Amino acid sequence: MSKLEELINELCPDGVEYIRLGNMTKILRGKRLIKSQLSYNEKYPVFHGGLEPLGYYGESNRKANTVMVINVGASAGTVGYSNVEFWSSDGCFCLEHSTSIINRYAYYALLSCEKLLRSKVRFAGIPTLDNKVVEDVKFPLPPLPVQHEIVRILDNFTLLTAELTAELTARKKQYEYYRDFLFDFSDDVPRVKLVDITDISRGVRVVKKQLIPNGKYPVYQNCLTAMGYYDKHNCDADTTYVISAGAAGEIGFCDKDFWAADDCLIFSNLNGVINKYIYYFLTTKQDFIRSNVRRASIPRLSRRVIENLQIPFVSLEEQERIVAILDRFDTLCNDLTSGLPAEIEARRKQYEYYRDRILTFKEKVA
């Protein structure tokens, strides 16, 4: 029997009360600050419509270790926790500290209700979550020792995921360093313009009504996420593409046949160069490419920026060697079916399952 089970059997053998949150503590609304009051040189983070600080301020209005619920914007209904003092703007509800509930326990308990909170967001104009929705949430309130043990268990899960995420970040930096190193050839290696060794052309537009929900061929238009599916393709598998409008400057590579719409620049008729080698080369030029995007109402990238890039023109054997090395790094850093991202996703699902399980008690009959 686990320590948690022992505590439950000892302290609440008849079950646990499910109590309305508004009856346990107050839901505090923050106070708005205007942009001119914020600075990145001040001490206290300011939270408004998301879990990333809007800026920093010289005063705080909330204690450290406070639970927050975002109540406006795209993140409305999201539950957060700050272990430092902060300023809560009016787009951020906070739970008042209470002697009957451990703040960290309240955070985990509310996290298990996050889907419910987000389902109650009103989407007329700016997405908004009413404070009454938060007040009406009912969740179990076991004795404090049980709350402490639950927090200990879930904090350990959270720490493990954080360690894996930190390792992934380090691996990505290592990958970027090694990728740039592999493309750092000496001056005696010839460079050629991309336009001289490959055709760079635009895709062909498809309109929304032409798309099908479960087709064979993904359609890429103005971002790296497929906008839908089509019943035929205009690009073969293993083709590099660059987004030229919208998410302009983003670089993609598709390992299966697909349809490139007219906001994609695609590479074909290659002469002495491997398509994936072009992809990895372009990723080393990502910052330069983005810096050449014209920021009009719709961001756009001129094809000439890509055509004039000079790529190290090495033997096909050397290109294959570089691609093989970077493919292994890429799998470790980005593959959702293996490597660290898969491990993080598996841990996240395990954590959510276990969190919801240990926060489900037999309800005490009054």
* One-letter-per-residue 3-state SS of 162-220: HHHHHHHHHHHHHHHHHHHHHCCCCCCCCEEEHHHHCEEEECCCCCHHHCECCCCEEEE
Residue 257 has what pLDDT? 94
Residue 35 has what pLDDT? 85
Q: For 257, which DSSP code?
A: -
Q: What is the pLDDT of residues 178-235, one digit of tens each?
A: 889 999 999 899 999 999 999 999 999 988 888 887 778 999 999 888 888 998 899 9
Residue 337 has what pLDDT? 53
Residue 165 has what pLDDT? 77
Q: Which parts of the chain register pLDDT below 70?
A: 1, 333-341, 366
141-167 burial, b at 16+ Cβ within 10 Å, e below that, comes to bbeeebbebbbebbeebbeebeebeee
Instruction: Please provide residue 259's backbone torsions phi and psi, each rounded to the nearest 5 degrees.
Output: -110, 125
Residue 243 has what pLDDT? 95
Residue 209 has what pLDDT? 85
Sketch out the chain's domains with CATH numbers: 1-15+144-173+315-366 (no CATH), 17-141 (3.90.220.20), 186-313 (3.90.220.20)
CA angle, residues 346, 219, 290, in degrees to nearest 5: 80
Residue 3 has what pLDDT? 87
pTM greater than the 0.75 cutoff = no
Check if the beta carbon of residue 147 is closer than 8 Å to that of residue 101.
yes
**231-to-94, 131, 212, 258 alpha-carbon distances in Å:** 50, 47, 8, 10
Residue 67 has what pLDDT? 96
- The C-alpha atoms of residue 26 and residue 29 are separated, in whole angstroms, by 9
Check if the beta carbon of residue 24 is closer than 8 Å to that of residue 51.
no
